[in-house]
Amino acid sequence: MREFLKSTKFKVLLAFLAFLVGVMIFAVTKGGYSLSGASVINTLTAPFRSASNGISMKMEHTLDKIKRADDIYDENQRLKAQIGELNKQLTDYDALKAECDELRKFVSIKEGHEDYILSQPCKVLSYIANDPFRSFTINKGSAEGIEPYCPVVTAEGLIGITIEVSEHVTTVRTILSPDLSVAVQCSSSGADKGIVEGNILSAESGNTKLTHLSTNNHLREGDLMITTGSSGLFPKDYAVGTVKDIQIDSNGLSSCAEIEPCIDITRLTSVIVITDFSGKREESDED
């Protein structure tokens, strides 16, 4: 027994017991109060109470969102109605702007040609299916004073001629077509005259052809060709297109040229019909 009391194991056990007693005394005397069972329980359950409070707050937030769902739905519907009204106003504005642009074109044509009697601006309804020469229909007809064989134009240049007219719809043949011939001359010189007649190869690229041109012509790329007005079907001095390329015709006796219309005929949205002009011929024969 004496040997055990003197052993290292006993000394270690004694030190451990002393440590435990010290911890207990410290716990009891810390802050001047005793360590009760309630304090121990509170300490042990603190993490669980914190988690419970977090879950409770989330549930409260979720229930609040559910309660507000009707209000949010009503607000969403109100905003959708406002967006719809704004979109309608924007559409109306775009339509009004387009109409104003057309009226400006109308005025610009009239200012330069006081003898012209013009139709209202005509909307292009559709291009004729399977027509490589881009004939199209417009939303004006005999009820608006349009007749067959009236020139169809934009402010930029000649488009073609009316051929079939019903009460409120008209078919237009364009200058890309070989069935329409227009006498033209160079605007800068007043000479170098020829006939604009379309063909299938030129129409593929949206162009038309100038034929019956003298081999001694002085045309250059970029020259503007205008109507001569000699036939009575088209008014005098109206722009048709510009010269892109000059060649000798296949017969070797005359020249020809590729003509780019003043406006892209393949992408028209609106045009104007000249129902009357000074020098107009009454017959329905084309140029």
Q: For each of the chain's 287 residues, which pLDDT tens digit applies?
A: 566 556 676 666 667 666 665 656 655 565 554 445 445 445 544 554 565 566 667 666 666 666 677 777 778 888 888 888 888 777 767 666 766 776 676 777 877 788 999 999 999 999 999 999 999 999 999 999 999 999 999 999 999 999 999 999 999 999 999 999 999 999 988 889 999 999 999 999 999 999 999 888 999 999 999 999 988 999 999 999 999 999 988 777 889 999 999 999 999 999 999 999 998 875 444 44
> What was the pLDDT predicted at 111?
79
Sorted by where each begins, the domain ranges of the chain are 117-276
Element (H, E) at 257: strand 255-261
Question: Residues 6 or more apart from 136 whose CB is under 8 A from it?
Answer: 124, 125, 126, 127, 128, 171, 172, 174, 268
> What was the pLDDT predicted at 73?
77
> What was the pLDDT predicted at 45?
47
Token pair in block for residue 155: 């402010």
> What was the pLDDT predicted at 23?
56
The class of domain 117-276 in CATH terms is mainly beta
Look at residues 266, 216, 225 and name the one whose alpha carbon lies nearest to residue 243: 225
**Residues 249/255, Cβ–Cβ less than 8 Å:** yes
> What was the pLDDT predicted at 25?
61
Question: Residues 6 or more apart from 177 whose CB is under 8 A from it?
Answer: 133, 135, 160, 198, 203
**Residues 223/242, Cβ–Cβ less than 8 Å:** yes
Task: Compute the distance between CA of residue 81 and CA of residue 191 in angstroms, rounded to an integer.
Answer: 64
Round the CA-based radius of gyration of the chain to a whole number and report it.
46
> What was the pLDDT predicted at 22?
63
> What was the pLDDT predicted at 50?
61
Look at residues 227, 153, 214 and name the one whose alpha carbon lies nearest to residue 186: 227
For Cα atoms 89, 95, 97, give the angle at the middle one, nearest 5 degrees: 100
Angle, helix 37-67 to helix 69-112, in steps of 10 degrees: 40
Longest dimension (CA), the chain: 149
